[in-house]
Amino acid sequence: MNEPIIKELEEEDIWNGFLTSLDSLRQASNIDKEKAKEVFQKINTNKDHIIAVAELDGKIVGSTTLLIEQKFIHNGGLVGHIEDVVVDKDFQGKKIGEKIMKYLLEIAKNRGCYKTILDCTDDVKPFYEKLGFKHIANELRFDHN
């Protein structure tokens, strides 16, 4: 297997495996093309919303999102939030998710984040702990239906 290229999402990546890989989390590849372009353009204008992708043999096979939040506490400090960690089911177990995570953790560090946090289920907790994350709190969720 070739080594994946880890990079920030580009518009042409959307239809080159990005949305299909997101299907491993929740159906995404059926989004309207114009809506997908609109979402990409909005995200792309926000320097604090970074989507990293793994490209393997010319196709996107995984992605992760980093959101950087400015705080009043910690003297205006920054916190990284990791979301939507996914690797296409056909490419899992090849350390692609680890490479994307390390790429975004480095961006968070270089941007000055004092911490990076995420929510996950118990079954994937060992993956994040291996990267240095520690269990600190519990996630609570309110659904706006």
Domains, in order of start, for the chain: 5-130 (3.40.630.30)
Neighbours of 134 (CB within 10 A): 6
Per the DSSP assignment, residues forming a β-bridge with 56 are: 59
Residue whose C-alpha is closest to residue 124's, from 82, 69, 78:
82
Say if CB 56 and CB 49 are below 8 A apart: no
pLDDT digits (tens, 9 = 90+) for 73-120: 999 999 999 999 999 999 999 999 999 999 999 999 999 999 999 999
The amino acid present at 137, given as its one-letter code, is A
Confidence of residue 62 (pLDDT cuts 50, 70, 90): very high
pTM value is 0.94
End-to-end CA distance of the chain: 44
pLDDT digits (tens, 9 = 90+) for 13-60: 999 999 999 999 999 999 999 999 999 999 999 999 999 999 999 999
